[in-house]
Amino acid sequence: MAATADFRNGMVLDIDGQLWTITYFQHVKPGKGGAFVRTKLKNVLSGAVVDKTYRAGEKVTDVRLERRPVTYSYTDGQLYHFMDKETYEMIPISGDLLGEDQLKYLKENMECEGLVHDKGVISVELPQFVELTVSNTDPGFKGDTTQGGTKPATLETGATVQVPLFIEEGDVLKVDRRENKYLTRVS
């Protein structure tokens, strides 16, 4: 059991038998009345987001999720199959559970983290920073900075990010997948 004073981003709570991750919280002390905590929770399995308010000092059931390395192997069109690097077992995960924001950066043999609850992998998280090859982009011309010095580039997985004008097809880029943002050219 944990109290609202123990809340932190990334903490997982068990609410009515479902696992929810705290993505945002704020302690509020109004002039009148008791203090409370405003939270934004994301369902670990479905990805649904809800707002929930707790009274200050209220007890909640926290859950410890273990992280285990997994490797993306392949997709059969509906399910994405990951190999558990400890047990060598194949773990099928639905595309809805992974989310569109992660799927656009997923490529074969990518090292990811599996979230383990009750000895089974229930979800997978991609690394925050991924290295991908540019498959398509317009050529940049010297002095062409009328649009802020960036252009769209399509990566090998189909994701599109804004990149500087000097980036060319075939370059390998480091991208922050959570922000959908170019960081640096690797090669």
Query: Do residues 160 and 152 touch, judged by C-beta distance below 8 A?
Result: yes
Question: Tokens representing 120?
Answer: 């089974």
Write out the DSSP string of 46-98: T--EEEEEEETT-EE-EE--EEEEEEEEEE-SSEEEEEETTT--EEEEEHHHH
Which residues constitute the domain of residue 162? 129-185
* 187 SS3 class: coil
How high is the pLDDT of residue 99?
A: 78
Are residue 121 and residue 166 in the same domain, yes or no?
no
Contact 137, 167 (CB under 8 A): yes
Looking at 103, 125, 147, which one is the last position of a domain?
125
Instruction: Determine contact, residues 128/176, Cβ cutoff 8 Å.
Output: yes
- The answer to whether residues 77 and 120 belong to one domain is yes
- In whole angstroms, give the CA distance from residue 81 to residue 58: 40
Same domain, 33 and 79: no
Count, residues in the chain: 187
Amino acid present at 69: P
Reported as a single tens digit per residue, the pLDDT across 45-98 is 877 889 999 999 899 999 988 889 999 999 998 899 999 988 889 999 888 778
pLDDT of residue 97: 79
Query: For the chain, which ranges sit under pLDDT 70?
Result: 141-148
Name the burial class of residue 121, with classes exposed (0-12), middle (13-18) and buried (19+) by CB atoms within 10 angstroms of its CB: buried
pLDDT of residue 148: 63
Domain with 35 in it: what CATH number?
2.30.30.30
